[in-house]
Structure formats: structure tokens, C-alpha cells
Amino acid sequence: MAKNQFDLTGKVVLITGGTRGLGLAMARGFAEAGAALIISSRKAEACEAVAEELRAKGARAVGIACHVGYWEQVEKLAEAGWAAFGRIDVLVNNAGLSPLAPSSLETSEALFDKVMEVNFKGPFRLTSLIGARMAAGEGGSIINVSSTGALSPQPNIIPYAGAKAALNAASVGFAREYGPKVRVNVISPGGFLTDVATEWKDSPTVTERVALKRFGEAEEIVSTALYLASDASSYTTAANIRVDGGAPP
């Protein structure tokens, strides 16, 4: 029964930032669960490469390039994504940007704006476009990928933490706006060993603070994503699920 609950056969998933790291792991997991995939990231060739990989494994998949920091591109993604399969059942706002700032005083306006655009502005607009259409139709599930950094901000990521905190707040509002047909939830990952984990992956002081005493592997995000995407979470909305190995708050 539990296995059937996680089945996504016949469902269409649009995932941003789906060509590497946690997004790629989730895309592969959704495909294995039977979903059709719309893979998006900034580079068209990367989107097509992942789509081709999934098609080679028997999944239906297309790649659509989009820089989520620009609303015009986000609006084109929403239209093209919906047209690709005639529906979108699951939206995963996973694309993100987390550059370290030298200090708050030295944070440039350009860096601040870029972090806000990718981590909050884009997901806000895409959720609005897809969520409203889901609510007017057969419903769906929206998963916003945030960060434990928004729950316990450190000095060198304050703009990033602020953008993700805004995404957390917006997710609750969207759950209320688009419910009862649409569920909107948040995943807050902690430290994962992906290609962007260059600043801290070799730091024993970081893992020492985590209950499981290690970083996560990208595939370990998949079960939470499947739960929120599928009927297994039919009574879960406006939730924020931490997947961080027991990092301190």
C-alpha cells in the first residue's frame, strides 16, 4: 500500500534546477516513480542531456531552459511546460543560488538582488502561475526547496537566508490561497554532498554539530520529495520538513 501511495504514474512534474545536485536526484526519483518530467535550468544543453537520460530509461521527459530570476523567462517556462504534456501535477521550485558574502557591509547591491531574484522572486512568480492554474483545474502539489540556513542564519549567508525565509513564508500563504486543491510544502535541506558543497564539505566541525555526524547524499532527499509530490501526503500542506541529519536549530 505504501509503495502504491508513492506512485506518480500519469503525473507530470516540472522541476527547476533539475540538472545537477539535489534537483537531478529528485528528477531521477520522480521518473523512477512513473512521472513525466519537465527539466529546467539555465542551460538548454544541460536540460536536454538530463531529459535524454530519463528518456533512455523509459520516462517521458523534455528539457526547457529558464533563468528563474527573470519573470519573462519564468512565464515562458510555465506556458511551455504546460503545453509539453497538457498538464502539470507537481511543481518543484528547486533552483537556487547561495554565494557567500564577505560580510554584510561588503555585500553589493548586485549580489543582493541576484540572490533574491533566484531564490524568492522566481519561485514566487512560478508558483503563482502554476498554482493558480492547478487550483482552477484538477489540483496538484507544489514543493519549494528552501534551506536550514533560513531557520538558523549565519553571518555570511544573510541575503540567502532572508530570501529562503521569504520563500518559507510565501509557501504558507500559497497553501492557503490555492487550497484545498493545491498543497504547498517546503523541504529545508541541510548539508548535502553535491557539486556546490565546496566551502564546507571537508570541515569536521560542521558534521560534529549534526546528530548523524555526516553530510547527506543527494539521493537521500528523494524520499521526502516523493512523499510531498504523491498522494502519501494528502493531508500535508503548509509544512516545512527539515532534511538535515539533525543539525542544531
Q: Which residues form the catalytic set?
A: 160
Query: What residues contact residue 20 under an 8 Å CB cut-off, 6+ apart?
Result: 41, 46, 194, 195
Joined grid coordinates for residue 139: 489540483
Joined grid coordinates for residue 133: 492554474
Sign of the C-alpha dihedral, residues 76, 182, 27, 53? Answer: negative
Q: How many CB atoms lie within 10 A of CB 182?
A: 25
Work out whether strand 140-145 and strand 90-93 pair parallel, antiparallel, or are unpaired. parallel
Joined grid coordinates for residue 162: 532572508
CA gap 140, 182 in Å, rounded:
5
Q: What are phi and psi of 179, to 5 degrees?
A: -70, 160
CA gap 69, 97 in Å, rounded:
10
Q: Residue 246 carries which DSSP code?
A: S
